[in-house]
Structure 1
Amino acid sequence: MSSDKLEKRLKYKLAWLDKYQSEIPLWATMIEMTRTLEKQLKISGLNKESPNHFYKKISHLLISPPLELFYHKIVNYLKNELIKVKDNQTIMATSDVLESIFGKYKNFSKRCPLKDFRQTLLTIPLLTMKLTTNIVQQALSTVRCRDLSEWIDEIFGQSMLSKRRAVITGSLDDMKTA
């Protein structure tokens, strides 16, 4: 198909979009406003300075009368969310960090031979810190494996693997009640 034919065909197929041509600048401004706030909240979190920061970032935009309602909805959203924030506090405004941590955990747990959540749970906090030789040395010298196993049993009860073993071996004495 020649480029002229393709162009004519596309114009014919997309002709219905012509009536929305005047709306595109409004939609572009709405998108810029929402993306500006989204980026700000992802990077800086939510705190008492968030509205001022947002106003400065969008000050170059023309908020025409058709956009005023949308603009006020964003401002009201910020005000309503700020009720939950103390004066000198910044709170996480998105779940991106948590999703990243759980993604790393899932990637790590794929490599574990046993898929026992109980045993790999404590790797989650490790994903949020920089491990140094000193930290590892301190952990290994202050926490015994027996203490960790007892803590896991106390918090989570008997593992599925040990329950399966007890059923397979037929030893009901090995079955603990949670």
Structure 2
Amino acid sequence: MEIIKNKGLNKVTYQQCYQLSKTLPRNSKVKTHLQAWLKKHLQIQAELTELPLLSSSDIIETLFGNYKYMLERSPQADMNRSVLLIPALCGSRKEAVIDQALNKAFQVDLAHWEEKNIPYTVRKKRQEFFKHKS
């Protein structure tokens, strides 16, 4: 677990873990299941990427921790819209890529996309209702 959690699964860590599994008793169900899991997931890793396959929820937990921190700065933020921040928190973005995205993302296009793809929340419905009542 420590190897896979800290380094991910690739050919090198597969070999390390497989060698460790050989130290388990011959008839061990843990050994059998571990070796099957390693083999299956090494194939998945090879099909998906050259990078190690991450096998820990730590990264996802950190991502959502950052997301929650950003939401705290704007407690009235609409959850449906603010979830669009999550991709911006993944990895590092070069300035040129950000500039290109900002120059090609027009407000009117974003508004149409949002209307089509992000359903109204209860808060949004309530605001719309009271806007017409006053």
Query: TM-score, normalising length from structure 2?
Result: 0.73
1:1-178 maps to which residues of 2 (within 5 A)? 38-54=1-17, 58=20, 68=25, 72-81=28-37, 82-86=39-43, 88-89=46-47, 90-170=52-132
- The unaligned stretches of length 5 or more in structure 2 are none
Find the residue that maps to 2:74 and give its secondary structure: coil
Q: Which amino acid aligns with 1:118?
A: N
Task: Report 1 or 2 for greater relative contact order, CA contacts < 8 Å, sequence distance ≥ 6.
Answer: 2
Q: Partners in 2 of 1:51 and 1:168 — Cα distance?
A: 59
Q: Partners in 2 of 1:97 and 1:77 — Cα distance?
A: 25
Cα distance, 1:138–1:169 mapped onto 2, change above 3 Å:
closer
- The unaligned stretches of length 5 or more in structure 1 are 1-37, 172-178
Asked if structure 2 preserves the Cα contact closer than 8 Å seen for 1:118 and 1:152, the reply is no
- CA deviation after TM superposition for structure 1 residue 156, in Å: 1.7
Superposed CA RMSD in Å reads 2.8
Identity %, equivalent residues: 25
- CA deviation after TM superposition for structure 1 residue 160, in Å: 3.1
Q: Partners in 2 of 1:84 and 1:52 — Cα distance?
A: 13
Task: Map Cα deviations across residues 145-169 of structure 1 (whole Å, 9 max, x no partner).
Answer: 2212221221122243331123224
Task: Map Cα deviations across residues 14-46 of structure 1 (whole Å, 9 max, x no partner).
Answer: xxxxxxxxxxxxxxxxxxxxxxxx221112223
Q: Partners in 2 of 1:73 and 1:133 — Cα distance?
A: 51
- CA deviation after TM superposition for structure 1 residue 48, in Å: 4.8
Asked if structure 2 preserves the Cα contact closer than 8 Å seen for 1:51 and 1:75, the reply is no
Cα distance, 1:46–1:138 mapped onto 2, change above 3 Å:
same
Which structure's CA Rg is the greater one?
Answer: 1
Asked if structure 2 preserves the Cα contact closer than 8 Å seen for 1:109 and 1:115, the reply is yes
Task: Give the corresponding residue for 1:3.
Answer: none
